[in-house]
Structures are given as C-alpha cells and as structure tokens.
Amino acid sequence: MRDIVIVGASGFGKEVAFLIEDINACEPRWRVVGFLDDAAAKQGSECLGTPVLGGTDWLRDHRGVACAVGIGDPRVRRRIVRRVEAWGVEFPCLVHPSVVMHRTVSMQDGAILCAGNILTVEITLGRHVHLNLSNTVGHGAVLGDFCTVYPGVNVSGDVTLEAGVSMGTGSEVIQGLRVGAGTVVGAGATVVKDLAANVVAVGSPARPIRDITPRWEDEP
C-alpha cells in the first residue's frame, strides 16, 4: 500500500477519504497517513479520526508521499497544486469502484471521480478534474484542468468545459456547447448556448449575471 495525504480537512476532503476507503475495500492500495490544511486552527486536530499533520508545507519534507487535493474550489485547488508540485509531489487519479466508463476515457494527474459517475466514450479529463457524486458525461466531452463538477450534473456529448469551470449541483449543458475558462454555472442551471469565460451564469436557460475577477488566466 502507498502512503497518501489529503489536502483539505473539511467537506470534500472528507469525501475523498470515504472514496479511498471504498477503493481499498475492493483492492488495498492506499494508506491515508493524514490530512493537511493551511488553516492553523485545524492543525494538530483530527478529521474522521485521522490526524491533521500540518499545512501544505508538510509535503516539502515528505517526498514520496502521494497527495489528493480535496478542495472543491478550482481556483484554490490550482493555487495549492502550483505551490506544492515544485516539490515533486505525486497526484494519483482516484476513481470510485462504482464509476462506469469506457476504455477510451483519458484522464490526467489528480483527477478524482466519486461514486456513481457514468462516462461514455472518447472523453478527456484534464489535470485535477473533480467529478463529485452521480454525474453523466457524454461522448467526446472535454473537461479542462481543474474543472469541478458538483453532484447530479449532466454534461452532454461533445461539450467543452474549459479550465477551471465549476458546474453547480443539478446543472446541465446541452450537446456541443463550450463553457469558457473560470466560469461558474449555478445549481440547477441549464446551459443552452455557449458561455463566455469568467462569468457566473444562473437560471434555465443559463444567463450571465456578473463577471468574475480576477480572470482565471490572470490569477497567480
């Protein structure tokens, strides 16, 4: 078994721990040695009975330990990854045993796929993509680096979600559309035409209601 730490001793980090438990129930692969969290108040405590070992600086002195970034916000997740990857940290893909996907699905480092997801054919998942519970992703879809798909989302065939997109719970995108980088699609929204980058879009049909600054491409 490989040692692994989870960044984020709160909501989604706990769900990642649950995911790893289910993976291990089928085939023992990972030993969760602890959580990491840059919130000083959490350091030295426990999360799900597992110690919070310190902040992300802990990784600098513990080479060889794998890392799962259990942070839902794409912007925060990217900042953490950019900071720690210089230390040679390994980010494995974590896929729940219940996930259904074709052999032509490809994914890059750090992808996390929770229970109940269905991915059909010729789908591409970028680095550190998160698929929370019970989503569907159709043929030919492309999800860029650091996309977050919250529970119960339908991503139709040939859709492109550019880097850093967040799809809110119960939202959907109809076939062949593109959602620009850094955009947030609200819970329950239905995307029926392309959305620009760096906006918040809500409703059915989804309409932009405000811009997001700094833009995804401008953040450090």
Q: How far apart are CA 212 and CA 139, in angstroms?
A: 30
CATH class of the domain whose range is 2-87: alpha beta
78 within 8 A of 96, measured Cβ to Cβ = no
pLDDT digits (tens, 9 = 90+) for 32-67: 999 999 999 999 999 999 999 999 999 999 988 999
Q: Is the model's pTM score more than 0.75?
A: yes
Residues of the chain with CATH 3.40.50.20: 2-87
Fold of 94-203: UDP N-Acetylglucosamine Acyltransferase; domain 1 (2.160.10)
**Identity at 14, one-letter amino acid code:** K
Residue with tokens 């692994």: 4
Collapsing DSSP to helix, strand or coil, 104 comes out as coil
Domain(s) labelled CATH 2.160.10.10 in the chain stretch across 94-203
- The first and second tokens of residue 13, run together, are 């980090």
Distance (Å, whole) CA 132 – CA 116: 9
pLDDT digits (tens, 9 = 90+) for 154-176: 999 999 999 999 999 999 999 99
Amino acid 36: pLDDT:
97
Q: Is the pLDDT of residue 220 over 90?
A: no
**Strand-strand pairing, 66-69 and 207-211:** unpaired
Count of CB atoms situated within 10 Å of the CB of 202: 17
